[in-house]
């Protein structure tokens, strides 16, 4: 897969952001090795779809392979996507997306509303009673094989589990790669003033998210979706204030990149009209 357009840091930036000089600063370590950007142009969006095809179709076999090498579905037309890549080489690392309500049919259900319709705890939250433009869903998180380092990852979901909360030494196996993708999706939700961010997670994941300060709670029972998953709800407005000191620099780097990319593409939010 060819990836173009990655920004390489200059020498002074590389020296200032040497991860060995500040090993506990996740923001600087992240910025040294990676960049996360909203996919607001056709070239970047194509990279996202090709990552998804590599992971979901070729690696995991969850979706049929496509002749054009791009995994796309009906929800992409009303989604915002994140791309994570290596900074110097542009090597693809991962992606995710934020599915919004359909502009022309806002009452159409998001995927989790269909999949979890029988298990949602509507006394905790009822999506049908929320303003449709106030909710979204994180989905299609994918991490390329060379960056999936957990035992058995080749045959399980490229999603977040407890192992992602354990730091690692190798610089090319940056800890929290899936976490950074979730933070990117959350930063986009904040940018768009979308409060209620739903996600299907492994059953005990909410407690691990809480360890890094996410305001997230389980809002329903388990379903089978490439493994056991439960619906969870993240409050975007409470994200920053609750983040642990370890995670805040990482979020700030990601939020800065999200803001910069949206400013460079002022037409992007017109899709919400």
Q: Is residue 103 part of a domain?
A: yes
Q: What is the pLDDT of residue 134?
A: 96
Tens-digit pLDDT profile for residues 237-251: 988 888 989 899 999
Mean pLDDT of the chain: 82
Whether residue 138 is predicted with pLDDT greater than 50 in this model: the reply is yes
Host H or E run for residue 98: strand 92-100
**Alpha-carbon distance 194 to 95, whole Å?**
20
Q: Is residue 69 part of a domain?
A: yes
Strand partners, 81: 97
* Residues, the chain: 273
**Alpha-carbon distance 101 to 91, whole Å?**
31
Alpha-carbon separation of residue 154 from 84, 158, 165 (angstroms): 19, 8, 19
Q: Rg of the Cα trace of the chain?
A: 18
Tens-digit pLDDT profile for residues 105-121: 999 999 999 999 999 99
Alpha-carbon separation of residue 152 from 73, 115, 144, 177 (angstroms): 27, 26, 14, 17
More confident residue, 226 or 164: 226
Q: Is residue 5 part of a domain?
A: no
Tracing tokens 């090993």 back to the chain, one arrives at 23
* Confidence category of residue 202, pLDDT binned at 50, 70, 90: confident
Output the six-digit token pair for 193: 């003033």
* Confidence category of residue 9, pLDDT binned at 50, 70, 90: very low
Q: Is residue 3 part of a domain?
A: no
Alpha-carbon separation of residue 232 from 64, 70, 121, 176, 210 (angstroms): 28, 28, 10, 19, 12
Strand partners, 99: 79, 137
Q: What is the pLDDT of residue 116?
A: 95
Tens-digit pLDDT profile for residues 44-97: 999 999 999 999 999 999 999 999 999 999 999 999 999 999 998 999 999 999
CATH number at residue 131: 3.40.630.30
User: Domain range spanning residue 219?
Assistant: 12-267
Q: Is residue 87 part of a domain?
A: yes
Tens-digit pLDDT profile for residues 139-192: 999 999 888 754 444 433 344 444 444 444 433 446 678 889 999 999 999 999
**Alpha-carbon distance 84 to 80, whole Å?**
14
Count structural domains, the chain. Answer: 1
**Alpha-carbon distance 16 to 215, whole Å?**
32
What single DSSP character describes residue 120? B
Output the six-digit token pair for 161: 């589990």
**Alpha-carbon distance 102 to 95, whole Å?**
21
**Alpha-carbon distance 9 to 88, whole Å?**
7
**Alpha-carbon distance 30 to 163, whole Å?**
18
Q: Is residue 4 part of a domain?
A: no
Q: What is the pLDDT of residue 213?
A: 83
DSSP 18-64: -TTTSTT-HHHHHHHHEEEEE--SHHHHHHHHHHHIIIIIIIS-SS-
Q: Is residue 6 part of a domain?
A: no
Q: Averaged over 16-24, what is the pLDDT?
A: 43
**Alpha-carbon distance 154 to 140, whole Å?**
16
């Amino acid at each position: 897969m060819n990836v173009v357009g990655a920004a390489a840091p200059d020498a002074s930036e590389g020296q200032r952001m040497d991860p060995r000089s500040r090993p506990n600063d996740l923001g600087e370590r992240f910025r040294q090795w990676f960049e996360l950007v909203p996919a607001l142009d056709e070239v970047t969006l194509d990279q996202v779809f090709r990552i998804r095809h590599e992971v979901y179709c070729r690696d995991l076999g969850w979706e049929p392979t496509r002749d054009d090498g791009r995994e796309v579905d009906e929800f992409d037309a009303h989604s915002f996507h994140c791309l994570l890549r290596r900074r110097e080489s542009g090597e693809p690392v991962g992606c995710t997306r934020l599915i919004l309500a359909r502009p022309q049919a806002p009452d159409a259900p998001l995927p989790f509303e269909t999949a979890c319709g029988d298990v949602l705890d509507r006394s905790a939250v009822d999506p049908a009673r929320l303003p449709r433009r106030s909710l979204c869903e994180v989905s299609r998180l994918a991490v390329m094989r060379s960056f999936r380092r957990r035992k058995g990852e080749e045959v399980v979901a490229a999603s977040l589990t407890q192992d992602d909360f354990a730091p690692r030494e190798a610089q090319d196996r940056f800890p929290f790669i899936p976490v950074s993708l979730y933070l990117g999706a959350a930063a986009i939700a904040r940018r768009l003033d979308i409060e209620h961010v739903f996600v299907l997670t492994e059953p005990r994941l909410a407690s691990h998210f809480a360890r890094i300060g996410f305001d997230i709670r389980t809002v329903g029972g388990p379903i089978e979706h490439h493994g056991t998953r439960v619906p969870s709800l993240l409050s975007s407005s409470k994200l920053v204030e609750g983040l642990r000191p370890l995670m805040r620099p990482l979020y700030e780097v990601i939020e800065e990149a999200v803001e910069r990319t949206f400013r460079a593409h002022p037409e992007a939010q017109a899709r919400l009209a």
